[in-house]
Amino acid sequence: MEDVDKLKKIASQVRRDIVRMVHAQASGHPGGSLGCADFMVALYFKVMKHDPKNFDLDGKNQDLFFLFQWSYFATMV
């Protein structure tokens, strides 16, 4: 349960950051990004195998994630 609470806190911060980014640019569609924040946080912090410090596009021994819906982009920043 401790892990779930930690992920919820991270997702909440991600949503705040999304609102701040969209507001600062006075442009954008935050709905998609806000709606997918929970599962993106779960993927990044619990499911995917990755090493951000040693990222390489060859993807060997790491999971890669490709996002094709640009309206969700703010979730990834």
Q: When comparing pLDDT for 58 and 10, which is higher?
A: 10
Residues 15, 36, 76, 30, Cα dihedral to 10°: -60
3-state helix, strand, coil in the chain (%, to 5): 65, 0, 35
Instruction: Indicate the helix (H) or strand (E) that contains 23.
Output: helix 2-25
pLDDT at 58: 82
pLDDT at 30: 85
pLDDT at 75: 62
Evaluate whether 28 touches 74 at the Cβ level (below 8 Å): yes
Q: Write the pLDDT tens digit of every residue in 12-65.
A: 999 999 999 999 988 888 888 898 899 899 999 999 998 888 888 787 888 888
